[in-house]
Amino acid sequence: MSDWDDPSVPREPRKLWHDMLLVAALLIFIGAQFVTDRPIGFVNRPVVADVAPLPPKADRDRYATYISAATYMIPKLKRPNALNTARGLSRLLAGGTAPDFARPPVRLGYSAREIDAFGMPFFAYKEVGYVLYFDDWDSDDRFLMAAPVGDEGLPVLRKELGTDIGSGWIFPFWAHFWGWIPVLLGLSWGWLQYRRRERRRAALGII
């Protein structure tokens, strides 16, 4: 019998909450593979965080023309999953005749780049900044059509629209960093198991 299995030294009981950390990490990781439409591999991809819709009084066609003339095409780099499959089905059932599909609304967004791995986001940083954009549904939902506004152009846009659009908006960092949650949970579980093992070694007098 090895010193490690010495029955005279009672083993420290496993704590359920320790193992729940690992279970939670695995559930988040597995769930991400089915829910998110992010690519599975390591990728640095463009994204647009939605800020606000243009007010109803805004000339939608005028801004859409500006976007089309100054096109900044943003590929969505999406993979099939349950959510966007359902969205595609709803578009098919709509037959492309619903007003929203024929004339997608113009919105104010914020252009950034997101670093993903295993279908989860780990980091995001500014690319263009504020943009006007709309969904290019004619491209089978593969692109966003955008035109730069920038930090310097936002006051001009607000003056033109007569509204303080985007005021108080904060970039949703949590939506682009949550991939760290299962990583930190897994590392915490590993650290707790290491400390449990070290306490066992100390109790047995193993150096």
Q: Among residues 112, 121, 126, which one has the least CA distance to residue 176?
A: 121
Co-location of 153 and 205 in the same domain: no
Number of folded domains that form the chain: 2
Which tens digit of pLDDT belongs to each residue from 23-50? 999 999 998 888 887 888 899 999 999 9
- The per-residue pLDDT for 10 is 56
How distant, in Å, are the alpha carbons of 16, 147, 193 from that of 196? 13, 56, 5
Q: How confident is the model at residue 7 (pLDDT cuts 50, 70, 90)?
A: low
- The per-residue pLDDT for 135 is 80
Co-location of 125 and 57 in the same domain: yes
Burial (Cβ within 10 Å: 0-12, 13-18, ≥19) of residue 182: buried
- Distance in angstroms (rounded) separating the CA atoms of residues 151 and 128: 9
HSE on the CB side for 45, CA within 13 Å? Answer: 25
Does the pLDDT value for residue 188 go beyond 90? yes
- Distance in angstroms (rounded) separating the CA atoms of residues 66 and 43: 30
Co-location of 110 and 203 in the same domain: no
Q: Which pair of tokens denotes residue 147?
A: 């035109």
For residues 28 and 118, the answer to whether their CB atoms sit within 8 Å is no
Which tens digit of pLDDT belongs to each residue from 48-103? 999 999 998 888 888 888 888 876 777 776 655 545 555 555 555 555 444 454 56
| Residue 142 C-alpha from the chain's centroid | 17
Does the pLDDT value for residue 201 go beyond 80? no
Helix (H, G, I), strand (E, B) or coil at 13: coil
Co-location of 68 and 136 in the same domain: yes
- The per-residue pLDDT for 120 is 93
Q: Give kind and range of the element (H or E) at residue 116.
A: strand 107-117
Q: How confident is the model at residue 105 (pLDDT cuts 50, 70, 90)?
A: confident
- The per-residue pLDDT for 144 is 83
- Distance in angstroms (rounded) separating the CA atoms of residues 168 and 87: 30
Co-location of 146 and 162 in the same domain: yes
- Distance in angstroms (rounded) separating the CA atoms of residues 173 and 182: 17
Does the pLDDT value for residue 8 go beyond 60? no
Q: Give kind and range of the element (H or E) at residue 185.
A: helix 180-204
- Structural domain for 68, as ranges: 38-172
Co-location of 63 and 138 in the same domain: yes
Co-location of 161 and 81 in the same domain: yes
- The per-residue pLDDT for 165 is 92
Which tens digit of pLDDT belongs to each residue from 108-163? 999 999 999 998 999 999 998 999 998 865 545 567 889 999 889 999 999 999 89
Mean per-residue pLDDT, 171-176:
93
